[in-house]
Structure 1
Amino acid sequence: MKSSASFGVKAADSLTRRWVSPLLFVGVVALSFTLLFRATSPSAPFPVSHLRAELSSAPPIADEEQSAAFAEPTVVASDPQPETQEMRLERVLKAAATADNTVIMTSLNAFWSTPGSVLDVFLESFRIGDGTSALLDHLVIVAVDDKAYERCLAVHRHCFDFKVQGLDFSGEKVFNTPEYLDMMWARLDFLRLVLEKGYNFVFSDVDVMWFRNPLPFFYPDGDFQISCDNFLGDPTNMKNWPNNGFNYARSNYRTIEFFKYWYASRARFPNVHEQNVLNIIKFEQHVRDMGVQIRFLSTERFGGICEPSRDFSKVCTMHANCCIGLKKKIDDLRAMLDDWRKFMSSPSDQRISRNFAWSVPQSCRLPPGFFSKKEKKPQL
């Protein structure tokens, strides 16, 4: 009996060995193929439902580990998007604005910005003016072509490159030519955009000399204030002849609507200077209904070659208006600077005496009877 039982155990043991060895071999082969398949197959996102099922059946983990398990994947930042023209404008305006969101602005192209040209004279007037050098911190030069922008960056802090698709503003733009009109109307629409962004502005042509800070002398009740070729003595008189080369606008709904209407009026008056369109619409009922307060600036403080300021102790700006031709303008602008230097270097008692007078116009001489017929006055 004992030998029979022993035989049975040995037989069972022998049978187990016969089956276990092949099964182990098959298992090893299957595992190898599985690992090979995973190593060579493209990776696929693991379903979130599977992840949650596994996590729910797993033993609890510490809070720190749980936070790490569900943390957002690290995202590598891509290259920043290029700065748009509007983004650049926002940045430049913010950097140049005063505490009450006012900026001083001028515009120029390559023809007006070359070394020794009008831009240099313009900036010099700020440096030698009475308390005007600090205003350069709030001046934005709007360059309408690449060369003007490069020149601005070389001489000034706040520069903005303004481009209008399909228009080339480089080179000399002769007064009242189609190219000149396109540039003036584009400038007007650009200033509307500045108002919409919440900034007040003082716009000055680059051929305006700054001898005193004009901000304290603007009318407190004026939304839009503009210099004159011919001032009739009353700042509310719509018969004054404005010159859009120097103006001040407060940012509010009235001025924004006014600038929109002014620009839209170009369609009614094709091939007409934006300044002459202003001379038409200022009388319209629609402008009165807007409630915009228009004020005309006295030539006593805001003069020009058309009508010079008579008092050096009051003058804020002088404009080379009523003058066509870059060389003529530069000659008379330099003469203005010389006149101002003589005034500023004289003893204080002589300055009060009002014995100083401008030596201009020299190159920009006006023909006899220039103001006898208003309709013939050029609007520069």
Structure 2
Amino acid sequence: RSAEMANEAWFMTPIYLEMMWGRLAFLQTILTLGYNFVFTDTDVMWFRDPFPYFDPSVDFQTSCDGFNGNPFDLNNYPNNGFNFVRSNNRTIEFYKFWVSSRQTYPTLHEQDVFNKIKQDPYTKEIGLTFRFLDTDYFGGFCSPSKDFNKVCTMHANCCVGLDWKITDLKIILEDWKRYLSSPANQTMSSHWRAPYKCPKMNS
């Protein structure tokens, strides 16, 4: 199994699903031990400290593939490749419910299961509070940030293939360096050249 994990796990292959669900179970353990966490996929590039943009009163805050302008609307389309979660009885119980929901949806990955259970009556009963992060601050290839003065992170989402992700993240980094070296960077609006190589996904 460890040898399989040493190579790229293609989207929705059995080893990919095992990795995603194993990761979720690990994060459940972190919460159970009493630790808050920021989780970030390795294809998320950080530009600024994200902590000032988190709401300390909210249990679960996550980035989005699609953000509708209302950070508390459960109809936002989240991407759990970047999130901030506080350890408390509500989040611990939610993660337990989320991990166990694999038995209900055995062919889905954990992100799709999250989208199904975020509005489940049991989630409402738990009392978990959600906040969906604005893509102006926490952008991605699905919905790039439009302002360099705001952007905290950029996620190589909506893209399949490690080589394509690396190529386009390098372009993103070059764009960021060019912004920082510009004398007008305080007023400059964002224009990312990526995604350039990444084949777009439907979600």
Bin for the TM-score computed over the shorter chain: over 0.9
Q: Deviations over 1:200-259 (max 9, x none)?
A: 110000000000010110123210111100000011111111111111100111101010
> How far apart, in 2, do the equivalents of 1:172 and 1:220 lie?
35
Answer yes or no: is the 8 Å Cα contact 2:59–2:86 preserved in 1: yes
Is 1:294 matched with 2:130? yes
Partner SS for 2:12 = coil
> How far apart, in 2, do the equivalents of 1:325 and 1:300 lie?
25
Answer yes or no: is the 8 Å Cα contact 1:323–1:364 preserved in 2: yes
* Paired AA for residue 49 in structure 2: N
Q: Residues 169 and 328 from structure 1, CA distance in 2 versus in 1: closer, same or farther, beyond 3 angstroms?
A: same
Partner SS for 2:82 = strand
Segments of structure 1 that go 5 or more residues without pairing to the other structure are: 1-143, 147-167, 371-376
Residue in 2 aligned with 1:336?
Answer: 172
Answer yes or no: is the 8 Å Cα contact 2:90–2:128 preserved in 1: yes
Cα drift, residue 294 of structure 1: 1.1
Residue in 1 aligned with 2:185?
Answer: 351
> How far apart, in 1, do the equivalents of 2:36 and 2:154 lie?
22
Partner SS for 1:245 = strand
* Paired AA for residue 197 in structure 1: L
**RCO higher in 1 or 2 (8 Å CA, sep ≥ 6)?**
2
Answer yes or no: is the 8 Å Cα contact 2:66–2:76 preserved in 1: yes
Answer yes or no: is the 8 Å Cα contact 2:149–2:187 preserved in 1: no
Residue in 2 aligned with 1:364?
Answer: 198
- Aligned-pair identity in percent equals 52
> How far apart, in 2, do the equivalents of 1:248 and 1:269 lie?
25
Cα drift, residue 145 of structure 1: 4.5
Residue in 1 aligned with 2:61?
Answer: 225
Residue in 2 aligned with 1:317?
Answer: 153
Answer yes or no: is the 8 Å Cα contact 1:254–1:292 preserved in 2: yes
Q: Deviations over 1:324-354 (max 9, x none)?
A: 011110110000100000111111xx11223
> How far apart, in 1, do the equivalents of 2:36 and 2:92 lie?
11
* Alignment partner of 1:187 out of 4, 7, 23: 23
> How far apart, in 1, do the equivalents of 2:2 and 2:35 lie?
24
Cα drift, residue 365 of structure 1: 4.8
Q: Deviations over 1:248-294 (max 9, x none)?
A: 10011110101000000000001101000000001111101101111
Is 1:273 matched with 2:109? yes
> How far apart, in 2, do the equivalents of 1:209 and 1:328 lie?
15
- 336-345 or 351-360, which moves further after superposition? 351-360
Partner SS for 1:259 = helix
> How far apart, in 2, do the equivalents of 1:343 and 1:355 lie?
9
> How far apart, in 2, do the equivalents of 1:329 and 1:235 lie?
27
Residue in 2 aligned with 1:200?
Answer: 36
Answer yes or no: is the 8 Å Cα contact 2:138–2:153 preserved in 1: yes
> How far apart, in 2, do the equivalents of 1:232 and 1:268 lie?
29
Alignment TM-score, normalising by the size of structure 2: 0.96
> How far apart, in 2, do the equivalents of 1:269 and 1:240 lie?
21
Answer yes or no: is the 8 Å Cα contact 2:43–2:156 preserved in 1: yes
Runs of 4+ in 1 over 4 A off after TM superposition: none
Report how many residues are paired.
203
Alignment TM-score, normalising by the size of structure 1: 0.52
Answer yes or no: is the 8 Å Cα contact 2:160–2:199 preserved in 1: no
> How far apart, in 2, do the equivalents of 1:170 and 1:272 lie?
23
* Paired AA for residue 253 in structure 1: N
* 1:5-16 equivalence runs, <5 A: none
Q: CA RMSD in A?
A: 1.5
> How far apart, in 2, do the equivalents of 1:341 and 1:215 lie?
22
* 1:1-380 equivalence runs, <5 A: 145=2, 168-347=4-183, 350-366=184-200, 377-378=202-203
